[in-house]
């Protein structure tokens, strides 16, 4: 059974840091990503990493968030620094077996990802 389990969410003050983890069991993915969804808003792509290690970030998090993957542990990470209140959301891990060549913006569309975790809440207070 395929599972993606996120951890590491919590509450932090603006300017603080958090590290999210997503451990995959059941399969090894060729691409993985983090998405987030705030109340009343659509789910949006935050960062992704593809099979060759290249990454893409949403403009809103560039320079503050870092996505990485430990292949030996089959675990995805999101290091979040300089957090802002607008980063408050439920953060979801997503993964897909399919290869994606290039890093066009369409890779960040939720419809292009097959497997999802249950989410972990991140709350940033001002």
**CA nearest to 109, candidates 46, 38, 63, 20:** 46
DSSP conformation class of 51: T
Burial 62-78 (b: 16+ CB within 10 A, else e): eeebebebeeeebbbbb
Other CB atoms within 10 Å distance of the CB of residue 48: 26
Residue with the larger pLDDT of the pair 105 and 14: 14
For position 102, what pLDDT does the model report?
Answer: 83
Query: What is the reported pLDDT for 26?
Result: 84
H or E element that contains 68: strand 65-70
pLDDT digits (tens, 9 = 90+) for 26-54: 888 999 999 999 999 999 999 999 999 99
63-111: per-residue pLDDT in tens?
A: 999 999 999 999 999 999 999 999 999 999 999 999 988 889 899 999 9
């Amino acid at each position: 059974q395929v599972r993606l389990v996120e951890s590491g969410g919590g509450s932090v003050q603006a300017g603080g840091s958090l590290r999210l983890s997503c451990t995959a069991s059941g399969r090894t993915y060729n691409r993985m990503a983090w998405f987030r969804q705030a109340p009343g808003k659509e789910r949006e792509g935050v960062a992704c990493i593809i099979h060759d290690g290249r990454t893409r970030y949403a403009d809103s998090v560039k320079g503050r968030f870092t996505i990485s993957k430990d292949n030996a542990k089959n675990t995805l990470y999101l290091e979040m620094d300089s957090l802002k209140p607008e980063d408050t959301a439920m953060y979801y891990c997503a993964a897909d077996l399919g290869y994606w060549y290039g890093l066009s913006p369409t890779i960040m569309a939720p419809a292009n990802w097959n497997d999802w975790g249950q989410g972990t809440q991140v709350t940033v207070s001002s």
